[in-house]
Structure formats: C-alpha cells, structure tokens
Amino acid sequence: MDSVEHVPAALALRQRPGVPGVRSTFGTSTELLNVLRLMFSRLGSHRCPNGHRQAPTIDVALNLNLTCPECRVEFYPPGAESMAFNSDGACPRCTGTGLVREVDEATLVPDPSRSISDGAVAPWSMFGLTVMPQVVAEFDVRTDVPYAELTDRERKIVMHGPAEKRHISVPSKNGKLFELNFTYRNARQAVQEALNNATSERGLSRVNKFLSVQVCPACHGTRLSEEVRSTLVDGINLAEATAKTLDEILVWAPGVVPTLPASRRSARTLPRSWAVSSTAGNRS
Ligand SMILES: [Zn+2]
Ligand SMILES: [Zn+2]
C-alpha cells in the first residue's frame, strides 16, 4: 500500500521484538516512550545545526525540511525513531547504554613495591606484552626499582607514553640476541586493546578487573545523543521528560498543549487520547 494514515501510534510501533534487550526499559516495553518520542519529534522546538531554536511546526509531521529563520540553514528535524537510544538517537560515546567502562589506573599496578622488571605493571604480564619492560627502559624509565619510587615523569610514560617504535635486543633460547623493533604499548593501551580483542566471556572477565563502570560523561547517563537532547517540549528535553515518574508525566503531558502554537493543538482529541502525532510521517 502507498500510505497508512491515522493509525494509532501504539499499532504502528507494535512490530518491535518482544524480548527485552540491554537497552529495554519500562518506557520502551510499554510504548509510553514511543508516544513521548513522537511528541518530541512532532511538537518539539528543534535546534538548527547552528544552534538556533525553531518554533514547533506542522512541517515536521509532513516530513518537510525545516529552514532556520535566523541563519537560513536547511535541516531535517529528528523523526520519532531517530530519537530512540537504541537506534540513531543513541549517545555515540556509550552507544545508548548510559554507562562507559574506563580503565581504572589504580588497578594497573596492584603492588607498587615491585619493580617493572618484576612484573609491577599487571596488564603487560597478563596480556603477553612481556617485552614492554625492556621497551619502556628505552624511554629512560628505571625498571629495577620499586614502582613506588619512580618519578612522575617515569610513571606518566608507563601510563600514557606514546606508541612509538623502540629497538631492543631479545635473547633467544640458545642465548643468541635478536635485534627487534617493538611498538610501545602503555599500560592503559594494553588494557584497551585487550578489551577490543576480547571475544569470549573469559577474555572479558580478565580485562574487567582493570575497568570501572561509570556513568557516561557525554550524555550523563541519559543514553541520548546531544542532538536528541536539544529538542525541547514545554522547555524540557526528552531525557528530562523520561526522568519524570509516571505520575509526574501524566500531569505534565496535558500541560504541553497550551504551550503549543494554535495550529498545533487539537481541541477534540487532547489530552485524553495521546494520539497526537500518529498522522502523517509514520512510514513504518
Ligand atoms: Zn540557524
Ligand atoms: Zn552516553
């Protein structure tokens, strides 16, 4: 068929998989979030790429480009689907989980009374980077004194030193020396690369001891990209709307109507039914 019109949002969006994933929430599984996303897409005040705020307009529901009255730039306002944190609307830093796993520096040298040659830098010995003590010595870092006695400069190289090539001699089994070039991997990088390469649960759990889980600094745990959070309805963004309790959101939603331009209100159907935006543009 060519088009489906006036289908309630609940029906149009019913085709999602029923199995909850890592990003499932009360809002995603009950469709309440779908309605909120539609509201923000269709009724929201969007921001142009140059940061100018736009008045809510029917053009969004008609899938039309918006032209910023201030800077004349043309842009596509976000559709309801692209405001989802499990698709295009996801914060790029945490891919929509709201959490990031960061290397926890305190875990990299669990026993600072040991020297680097004696295995002080745990990820090097753990992830097979056994020549790194020799390589780091080429950066003038002492490897035969307790890590605790290293200077700030030396520790900085251990933790953050550049991935540069160094020439070292490695003895073979029969005592013969091999001259080899190795690219330096600082302690943080060693963990990061082990994380990127981990393919099994077991591999991941080995890396996990060097990581700490933190609230994503980019989206502050809201899971949404900055662009999605720039659209405002009644002065708040989607993240702030979803932070409300169910009771609060039910009080807030009908209050949105008076904040809209007259052309965007419908006296007949609001606020009892929330099927405000299930008209044009629902192409799914
Ligand atoms: Zn503009
Ligand atoms: Zn994030």
CB 230 within 8 A of CB 237: yes
Centre of ligand 2 from the C-alpha of residue 216, in Å? 5
How close is the Cα of 77 to the center of ligand 2, in Å?
A: 21
- Round to whole Å and give the CA distance between 16 and 90: 17
User: Where would I find the H helices in 127-245?
Assistant: 132-137, 152-160, 187-197, 201-208, 226-229, 238-242
How remote is the CA of residue 42 from the centroid of ligand 1, in Å?
19
Q: What single DSSP character describes residue 232? A: B
The pLDDT score that the predictor gives to residue 93 is: 94
pLDDT in tens, 20-55: 666 677 777 777 888 899 999 989 999 999 999 998
Of 115, 257, 131, the closest CA to residue 183 belongs to 131
Please list, in sequence order, all residues whose beta carbon lies within 8 angstroms of the beta carbon of residue 171, skipping any fewer than 6 positions away.
Answer: 177, 178
Give the Å distances, CA to CA, from 229 to 46, 69, 195, 210, 232.
Answer: 10, 21, 30, 32, 8
Nearest bound ligand to the CA of residue 94 = 2
Other CB atoms within a 10 A radius of the CB of residue 8 amount to 15
Pairing mode of beta strands 74-75, 165-171: unpaired
State the angle between helix axes of 201-208 and 187-197 in degrees (0 to 180), rounded to the nearest 10. 160
Q: Are 149 and 155 in contact (CB under 8 A)?
A: no
Q: Does the model's pTM come out above 0.75?
A: no
Distance from the alpha carbon of residue 205 to the mean position of ligand 2, in angstroms = 23
* Distance of CA 64 from the midpoint of ligand 1 (Å): 16
- Number of Cβ within a 10 Å radius of residue 219: 24
| CA 102–ligand 2 middle distance (angstroms) | 13
At 253-275, the pLDDT tens digits run 989 988 887 777 765 544 444 44
CA of 133 from ligand 2 middle (Å) equals: 36
Q: What distances in angstroms separate CA 6 from CA 123, 256, 258, 262, 275, one per listed residue?
A: 58, 21, 23, 21, 9
Give 59 Cα–ligand 1 centroid separation in angstroms: 16
List, in order of start, the domains of the chain with CATH numbers: 9-97+221-264 (1.20.1580.10), 105-185 (1.10.8.280)
At 79-137, the pLDDT tens digits run 888 899 888 999 999 999 899 988 999 899 999 999 999 999 999 999 989 999 999 99
The mean per-residue pLDDT over the stretch 140-167 comes to 96
226 alpha carbon to ligand 2 midpoint, in Å?
A: 9
CA 6-74-62 angle, 5° bins: 10
pLDDT at residue 17, rounded to an integer: 55
Give CA torsion, residues 138, 193, 155, 94, to 10 deg.
Answer: 150
> Residue 74 CA: which ligand is closest?
1
- Residue 6's pLDDT band (boundaries 50, 70, 90)? low
Which numbered ligand comes closest to the C-alpha of 229? 2
